[in-house]
Amino acid sequence: MVSRLVQNMKVMKHAATFLLPPSVVSATNRSAQTYALVVLNQQIPKFTPLLWSHAKLRICADGGANRIFDGVPKLFPDQNQLNIQHRYIPNVIKGDMDSIRPEVHKFYAELGSEIIDKSENQDTNDLHKCISFIREQTPAWDHSNLCILVTGALGGRFDHEAANLNVLYVFSDMRIVFLSDDCQIRLLARTHQHEIHIQSTVEGPHCGLFPIGGPSVSTTTTGLTWDLCNSEMRFGSMISTSNKVREEKVTVCSDADLLWTISLKTPIHMGLTC
Amino acid sequence: MAPEMELMSHASTFLLPHQHQHQPDPPALTYALIVLNQRLPRFAPLLWNRAQLRVCADGGANRLYDGMPELFPDQNPEEVRLRYTPDVIKGDLDSIRDDVKDFYLNLGVRVVDESHDQDTTDLHKCVAYVSNSAPVEDKSKLCILVVGALGGRFDHEIGNINVLHRFSNLRIVLLSDDCLIHLLPKTHSHMIHVQLPVEGPHCGLIPIGAPSARTSTTGLQWNLSDTAMSFGGLISTSNVVKEDKITVSSDADLIWTISIKKPIQE
């Protein structure tokens, strides 16, 4: 039954090329992805400037602006802090503005950040609003090649983390990647067969697949140390944690939406002058 | 919801400073503490004092060795370490430092190498050990407190949450500086006695692993009333406790989470 599903399902390819220096990415003939970056209100990963350099659109969700303002200069301790702050200006700051500090708000507003101050809908969180905004405000972009990178989605209060993970499910037709210093997370939607091209200089080997939305009756993988073969996965029983990537290409095919996570090899070489 | 479902009560009285302890409702529980490999929360000594059995999972021993003296900066580190010595250190022992292992071995701590068993996580092994070894006859009176289970590598965090589901008949609470989480198994209806001096007001109910067709609550700002919850749909996050008794009834296992107030005074 799984093989019949496989024939009908389109393949979706994933590659964390946003973790490679821009010079390396452009030198190779990779299909162009357009990146957007959303910065939430947790400590930024050390490689945030690299993500920033890949992104065409950079959005801070409310207190995420504090994190850029305070955090990016610390990543370039030998450089003039104000110069760094001037180089990392978000395009947009969105949210209900109850976390952003007044001096940070003023600094970015004066330097051209679009401040969208709307406490409209209390049913959706900051990340949800930012994803919706990106989708609506970029009609000219090819959304099938859009990948939204998110920092600060994990850690802190568990209900915030769960709400952010839920955003991956709500927008399951979009490419959204959560990044922290330790790992990255994506949703592998059940609608597709997935190929993950491992960038082994920057990611792995630890990985996992989790059916947090609901059990999987049948999941099959290739390229992992402990591959699944029509395996059932559910909470309370077996889920794939502490697995390892064994090959440069990992494939996943499942009847359920799965969260894929892979560890990062830090430090990530950014290849940036500042 | 079947009205005959047995009621299970919960109360984070283990977070209350000792002088505020009264005869708690539900009846007194026996606590065990498991320390995993993340930075200790600032109230770790409070949990330690409640526990009758203390277990470190592998690198958790490093965190205890380094972290407890940091929580008592005015005291002699060696004396602090002697006061906070675990009963057992367990796991595959690939993270524990040699100097830490030797220190605890010299104090008579049992160090159990389980690297042969790659099928279960360190937390799973420690929970199984505590369940078998804790000085309590009735497992429903045992409550296992775990620090270091949240944060860090995401697959570890998810694996730790799965331990709650795999041992759904045991009370296991995962704690961080910011919040705690525990399972509300679908086999019971639940009453949560909120300890307002130390926890809240932010809370949530999350159906991890399987959706809920019907969940009902009382005592929250945004109560559920036979409400469906699922990933991809509605989950209850950024909710607020409004009363000091919260009831929850569901057809699915739910993760309850509540924020922890800062600072907790020892």
User: Model confidence over B124-149: pLDDT tens digits?
Assistant: 999 999 999 988 888 889 999 999 99
How far is A107 from A122, CA to CA, in rounded Å? 27
Q: Among A161, A181, A201, where does a domain finish?
A: A181
Tell me, what CATH number does A250's domain have? 2.60.120.320
Tell me the average pLDDT of chain B. Answer: 93
With an 8 Å Cβ cutoff, are A162 and B257 in contact?
yes
Tens digits of per-residue pLDDT, B151-172?
888 999 999 999 999 999 999 9
Q: What are phi and psi of A170, to 5 degrees?
A: -65, -40
A140 shares its domain with A231: no
Nearest residue of chain B to residue A242 (CA atoms): B155
A188 shares its domain with A177: no
CB nearest B152 (choices: A159, A165, A182): A182
Tokens for B145, please give them: 């407190």
A27 shares its domain with A93: no
Residue A235 lies in a domain: yes
For chain A, how long is the longest CA-to-CA vector? 61
**CB atoms closer than 10 angstroms to residue A63:** 21
Residues 193-212 of B with CB under 8 A from A: 202-204, 206, 208-211
ipTM: 0.93
Report pLDDT for B3.
60
CB-based contact, B137 to chain A, within 8 Å: no
| Residue of B231, B238, B258 to mutate, interface with A, max A Cβ within 10 Å | B231
CB-based contact, B85 to chain A, within 8 Å: no
Strands B142-147 and A114-117, bridge-based pairing: unpaired
Whether B184 contacts B201, CB under 8 Å: no
CB-based contact, A115 to chain B, within 8 Å: no
Residues 170-189 of B with CB under 8 A from A: 176, 178-179, 181
User: Residue A29: is its pLDDT beyond 80?
Assistant: no
A250 shares its domain with A213: yes
Residue A273 lies in a domain: no
Report pLDDT for B21.
54
Residues of chain B in contact with residue A208, where contact means CB-CB under 8 angstroms, are: 154-155, 158-159
Tell me, what CATH number does A75's domain have? 3.40.50.10240
Nearest residue of chain B to residue A237 (CA atoms): B166
A47 shares its domain with A127: yes
Average pLDDT over residues B242-251: 97
A171 shares its domain with A192: no
Residues of chain B in contact with residue A163, where contact means CB-CB under 8 angstroms, are: 204, 235, 237-238
How far is B190 from B246, CA to CA, in rounded Å? 8
Number of domains in chain A: 2
CB-based contact, A182 to chain B, within 8 Å: yes
Q: Among A114, A148, A181, where does a domain finish?
A: A181
Amino acid found at A75: L
What is the gyration radius of the CA atoms in chain A, in angstroms? 19
DSSP letter (8 states) at residue A31: P
Residues of chain A in contact with residue B165, where contact means CB-CB under 8 angstroms, are: 235-236
State the smallest CA–CA distance between residue B99 and chain A in angstroms. Answer: 26
CA-wise closest residue to A172 among A123, A214, A204: A214
| Residue of B58, B155, B240, B258 to mutate, interface with A, max A Cβ within 10 Å | B155
Whether A129 contacts A38, CB under 8 Å: no
Q: Among A130, A154, A181, where does a domain finish?
A: A181
The residues, any chain, with a CB within 8 Å of residue A243's CB and separated by 6 or more, are A206, A207, A208, A209, A224, A225, A226, B155
Whole domain around residue A24: which residue ranges?
1-31+183-266
Residue A60 lies in a domain: yes
Average pLDDT over residues A113-136: 87
Residue A191 lies in a domain: yes
pLDDT range class, residue A34, cuts 50, 70, 90: very high
Residues of chain A in contact with residue B204, where contact means CB-CB under 8 angstroms, are: 158-159, 162-163
Nearest residue of chain A to residue B177 (CA atoms): A156
How many beta-carbon pairs below 8 A join chains A and B?
A: 124
CB-based contact, A254 to chain B, within 8 Å: no
User: Residue A118: is its pLDDT beyond 90?
Assistant: no
Q: pLDDT above 70 covers what percent of chain A?
A: 93
Whether A56 contacts A35, CB under 8 Å: yes
A135 shares its domain with A232: no
CB-based contact, A97 to chain B, within 8 Å: no
pLDDT range class, residue A129, cuts 50, 70, 90: very high
| Residue of A131, A157, A177, A262 to mutate, interface with B, max B Cβ within 10 Å | A157
A221 shares its domain with A159: no
Residue A27 lies in a domain: yes
With an 8 Å Cβ cutoff, are B231 and A125 in contact?
no
Tens digits of per-residue pLDDT, B23-55?
554 558 999 999 999 999 999 999 999 999 999
pLDDT range class, residue A145, cuts 50, 70, 90: confident
pLDDT range class, residue A73, cuts 50, 70, 90: very high
Residues of chain A in contact with residue B237, where contact means CB-CB under 8 angstroms, are: 125, 159-160, 162-163, 166
User: Residue B80: is its pLDDT beyond 80?
Assistant: yes
Residue A165 CA: distances (Å) to CA of A233, A259, B61: 19, 9, 31
Whether B104 contacts B61, CB under 8 Å: yes
Sole residue written with tokens 């990948």: A147
Q: What are phi and psi of B154, to 5 degrees?
A: -65, -35
Residue A141 lies in a domain: yes
Q: What are phi and psi of A144, to 5 degrees?
A: -70, -20
Residue A274 lies in a domain: no
Residue A272 lies in a domain: no
What DSSP element (H or E) covers B193? strand B189-193
